[in-house]
Homo-oligomer: A and B are copies of this chain.
């Protein structure tokens, strides 16, 4: 257990918690199931927000803010919705020193409060589409919690759109799934499989839920984002209609889609190693740290002067810090920045100064390289790109190595016992079989592929016909 971090091979779950603690990313709070996101963790969330928000705006969305409280009667207007969410809500019963006439639910998701407002905003086809996103905190009373992955309160974004036609709503749902896929792969360097949830796993109140699923380093699946086609369910529950160009009143079509601070957990579990956090350069709040090495004030002054000269060229190209703290030794600093997941560490001592070089250490591979101080900026930029790509390639390679195709239930159960991972199997399409699978193996159907290869076969459990394979795994 080097540097206070348990090895993955010893105890994966403990390793995860240790990485978070070592990087000071988050802490449990004194409030049951709620976490504190510390500055190192929050800075990654800010980078995620910036990346996603840009993509949302490029696809025509605007931000707004709706109340965090939802009247109980609103929750009850959509039957499946209340059944799914009410049991896990926090409920405000008193306000301003008095018992409330109607209890307020702290939002677990905002479909109901938002559609109660859309009713006022939508009259004509000219008011459509509405393309709104909200950045907010939400609360779901979880029994078993885990930093970032499952907490009673978490931060997220929730898009809520309103459309004139079913086709537009479906196109929006698919577009946002694609935005999430792009973000996961290009920013988080985390390969994902897009697909459709089963009836049993879909969002409470949706017609159809799309998702992206990623594989963590222990072979388990993690649902990283969902995009729901809500059909006319919420428009009907809140009686939201619009007048078509032809003058007819019709119910509005809806979507909602979201990702949360859970992505930070996914990021950690995809890339980090036994030395601590690893952050892909595109989401690293600090991309490069230069640790100067000196003895005595003269050397200190010389090294820092050169460091600042070199760094003058870095502004606007990548984020950096010169760690000139006097009260810590270089070795301590190396360790700290390693645990914090900074992609590139540069070291420069008196000999390096004399030789006109710096030492570069990559966080992803641990490789050391001695670089000329000439063209250093370009070399750092290129290495940041290389790290981003390498992290993605490694994660994809890992997923491929741990993805299996099996045909019998016995083989499935036996392999699952020994090898966690993704399993492509045949399923008869019934909720009954799905629930039996889960009860007997703790694995779940993660998704039905978006465009499944037609491959008729037999359900591995019941032997009934199956048109194509589905993805099964144990999941977070």
Residues of A within 8 A of B (CB): 27, 29-32, 34-39, 42-43, 45-46, 62-71, 74, 87-97, 103-104, 106, 113, 116-117, 120, 126, 132, 136-137, 139, 141-143, 152-153, 155, 327
Contact = CB atoms under 8 A, between A and B. Distances in A.
Given A90-B104, A93-B93, A96-B141, A113 B31 contact: yes
A384 B35 CA distance: 44
A97 B106 contact: no
A37 B29 CA distance: 30
4 shortest interchain CB distances as A-B pairs:
A96-B141, A34-B67, A39-B62, A37-B65
A304 to B, nearest CB: 19
A60 to B, nearest CB: 12
A91 B95 CA distance: 6
Given A36-B64, A91-B93, 12 more contacts: A27-B117, A29-B117, A31-B69, A68-B153, A69-B153, A89-B95, A90-B95, A92-B106, A95-B152, A96-B143, A97-B141, A136-B137
Contacts of A46: 63
A30 B65 contact: no
Contacts of A43: 62-63
A160 B71 CA distance: 32
A219 B96 CA distance: 30
A68 B294 CA distance: 46
A91 B94 contact: yes
B63 A42 contact: yes
A43 B62 CA distance: 8
B90 A90 contact: no
Contacts of A38: 64
B64 A120 contact: no
Q: Which of A95, A103, A139 has the most CB of B within 10 A?
A: A95
A263 B87 CA distance: 38
Contacts of A327: 126
B39 A132 contact: yes
A68 B27 contact: no
Contacts of A132: 39
A96 B92 contact: no
A137 B42 contact: no
Contacts of A92: 90-93, 106
A68 B36 contact: no
B39 A63 contact: yes
Contacts of A32: 95
A64 to B, nearest CB: 5
Contacts of A64: 36-39, 42
A103 B29 CA distance: 16
5 contacts: A31-B71, A34-B69, A38-B64, A42-B62, A42-B63
A142 to B, nearest CB: 8
A65 B93 CA distance: 25
Nearest to A131: B39
A95 B141 contact: yes
Given A39-B132, A137-B137, A29 B153 contact: no
Contacts of A67: 29, 31, 34-36, 153
A152 B64 CA distance: 17
Contacts of A66: 29, 36
A302 to B, nearest CB: 27
Nearest to A119: B30
Contacts of A70: 31
A118 to B, nearest CB: 10
A92 B87 CA distance: 15
A32 B35 CA distance: 29
Nearest to A73: B30
A87 B93 contact: no
